[in-house]
C-alpha cells in the first residue's frame, strides 16, 4: 500500500514595526492543521532556525502568545491564535506594591495605580513616579524602550492609567481621546450629601475654578440638578453621577465622565461644599486617611491600532464603604483646610 503524505500548510507571517524598535516584530498566525503546542509550531514556522535556537528564544522571553509572554514550550495553541516573536526580550512581571500591569502589547501599557504614587513628575516628586518606574522596568529588557502617559491620576488617588510606547501614539490618543474612550467610571466618598440621588455634575464656572465664587447654594443647585443628556453634556468637565449609599453624614457616589478626561472632579465637588473624604486641601476635615477617597473603577476604550475594545474594571474599595460607618471628624477651627490650599 502506498502512503500519501499531506503537505504541510504554510504558516502565515507578517512583520510589524515596533515603536522605538530597530527591528520589526514577527507575527505568526495559527491555522487549522498546524501543531497545537508552541515549540512544535515554532519549529515548523521557523525552518531556518535550529531547535536549540528556538528553545533559546523561548527561554529568553522573546515569544508571546497574543500579548502574553511565555517560556512554556508545550503551551497549547488553537486556530486563531497569534504567536509573536519580539525583537527584544519581553519584561518579566513588574513587582511593585503600588503598580500592577494589567495589559501590555507592542503599542500600549495599562496599569492600575494605587494611592500614594504620582503618575508623572510634579514639584518635588520627580523620581518615584509611575512613569519613571515603568520606564526603568522596560529599559531593563530593551534599552530603547520609552513610555508616554495618556491620562493621569493624582498621587493620592487610585485607578487606571494608560501609557503609549511611542510619541506618535501618545499624540493620537491624547488629541482624540474622546473618539476612543467608551466609559470612565469613578467611585468617590463625599463629606455630606447632595440634594438629589442622581444628576449631572457641571463644569465649574470661571469664578469657581479660581475659588472666588460666593453663592455656594446656587452652585450646588446648578451642579447637582438632574438633567437629561444633551449635546452640551459632551463638553469637557461634565459627569453623570448617582448615589450608591449613604451613612454617617457621608455619601458614596458613582461618577461617569461624559466626555474626555477630567482632572477637576475634586475641585468641582469641593465647590459644592461636598469635598471628597481625605481631600483636606479642598475642604475635607479628614486628614488622617492617607489618601483621597476617589478611585477609578472602570476604563473602557478602543485600542487605536488593533481596534479591539479593552475593558478594565476594579471593585469599589472596601475602605469606601467603611468610611460610611465611621464618624467624620469635625473641622479644626485653628487650621482650616482652606488656609492650606495654596500649598497643593
Per-residue pLDDT reduced to its tens digit, 146-159 = 999 999 999 999 99
Which three cell numbers, joined as nine digits, stand for 22?
A: 530597530
Three-state DSSP class for 219? helix
SS3 labels along 253-307: EEEEECCCCCCCHHHHHHHCCCCECCCHHHCCCCCCCCCCCEEEEEEEEECCCCC
Rounded to 10 deg, the angle between the 38-45 and 51-59 helix axes is 130
Burial class (CB in 10 A: 0-12, 13-18, 19+), 97: exposed
Q: Cα(59)–Cα(76) distance, rounded to whole angstroms? A: 17
Burial class (CB in 10 A: 0-12, 13-18, 19+), 6: exposed
Q: Where in the sequence of the chain do the CATH 3.30.2350.10 domains occur? A: 91-175
Pick the CATH number of 12-85 from 3.90.950.10, 3.30.420.40, 3.30.1490.190, 3.10.290.10: 3.10.290.10
pLDDT of the residue at 20: 64
pLDDT of the residue at 162: 97
pLDDT of the residue at 286: 93
> Which parts of the chain register pLDDT below 70?
1-8, 20-22, 123-126, 204-236, 327-344
pLDDT of the residue at 124: 66
Phi–psi pair at 7, nearest 5 degrees:
-60, 145
pLDDT of the residue at 235: 59
Residue 96: beta bridge partners?
99
Q: Where in the sequence of the chain do the CATH 3.10.290.10 domains occur? A: 12-85
Which three cell numbers, joined as nine digits, stand for 325?
A: 460607618
pLDDT of the residue at 318: 96
pLDDT of the residue at 224: 44
Cα–Cα nearest to 283, from 237, 244, 335:
335
Domain range 91-175, CATH class: alpha beta
Report CA dihedral (222, 224, 226, 232) to the nearest 10 degrees.
Answer: 60
- Which residues lie closer than 8 Å to 209 by C-beta, 6 or more apart? 264, 267
Amino acid at each position: 500500500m502506498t502512503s500519501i503524505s499531506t503537505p504541510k500548510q504554510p504558516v502565515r507571517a507578517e512583520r510589524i514595526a515596533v515603536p522605538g524598535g530597530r527591528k520589526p516584530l514577527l507575527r505568526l498566525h495559527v491555522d487549522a492543521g498546524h501543531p497545537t503546542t508552541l515549540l512544535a509550531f515554532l519549529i515548523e514556522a521557523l525552518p531556518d532556525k535550529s531547535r536549540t535556537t528556538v528553545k533559546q528564544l523561548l527561554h529568553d522571553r522573546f515569544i508571546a502568545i497574543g500579548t502574553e509572554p511565555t517560556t512554556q514550550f508545550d503551551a497549547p495553541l488553537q486556530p486563531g491564535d497569534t504567536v509573536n516573536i519580539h525583537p527584544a526580550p519581553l519584561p518579566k512581571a513588574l513587582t511593585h506594591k503600588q503598580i500592577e500591569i494589567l495589559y501590555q502589547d507592542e503599542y500600549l501599557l495599562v496599569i492600575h495605580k494605587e494611592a500614594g504614587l504620582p503618575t508623572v513628575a510634579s514639584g518635588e516628586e520627580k523620581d518615584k513616579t509611575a512613569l519613571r518606574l515603568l520606564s526603568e522596568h522596560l529599559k531593563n529588557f530593551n534599552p530603547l524602550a520609552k513610555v508616554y502617559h495618556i491620562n493621569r491620576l493624582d498621587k493620592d488617588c487610585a485607578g487606571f492609567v494608560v501609557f503609549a510606547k511611542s510619541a506618535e501614539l501618545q499624540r493620537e490618543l491624547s488629541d482624540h481621546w474622546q473618539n476612543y474612550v467608551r466609559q470612565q467610571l469613578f467611585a468617590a466618598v463625599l463629606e455630606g450629601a447632595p440634594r438629589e440621588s442622581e444628576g449631572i455634575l457641571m463644569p465649574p464656572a470661571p469664578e469657581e475654578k479660581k475659588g472666588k465664587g460666593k453663592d455656594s447654594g446656587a452652585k450646588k443647585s446648578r451642579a447637582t440638578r438632574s438633567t437629561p443628556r444633551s449635546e452640551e453634556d459632551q463638553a469637557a468637565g461634565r459627569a453623570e453621577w448617582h448615589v450608591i449609599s449613604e451613612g454617617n453624614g457621608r455619601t458614596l457616589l458613582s461618577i461617569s465622565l461624559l466626555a474626555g478626561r477630567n482632572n477637576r472632579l475634586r475641585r468641582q465637588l469641593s465647590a459644592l461644599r461636598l469635598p471628597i473624604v481625605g481631600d483636606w486641601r479642598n475642604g475635607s476635615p479628614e486628614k488622617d486617611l492617607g489618601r483621597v477617597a476617589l478611585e477609578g473603577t472602570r476604563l473602557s476604550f478602543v485600542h487605536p491600532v488593533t481596534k479591539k475594545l479593552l475593558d478594565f474594571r476594579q471593585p469599589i474599595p472596601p475602605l469606601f464603604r467603611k468610611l460610611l460607618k465611621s464618624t467624620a471628624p469635625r473641622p479644626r477651627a485653628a487650621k482650616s483646610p482652606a488656609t492650606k490650599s495654596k500649598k497643593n
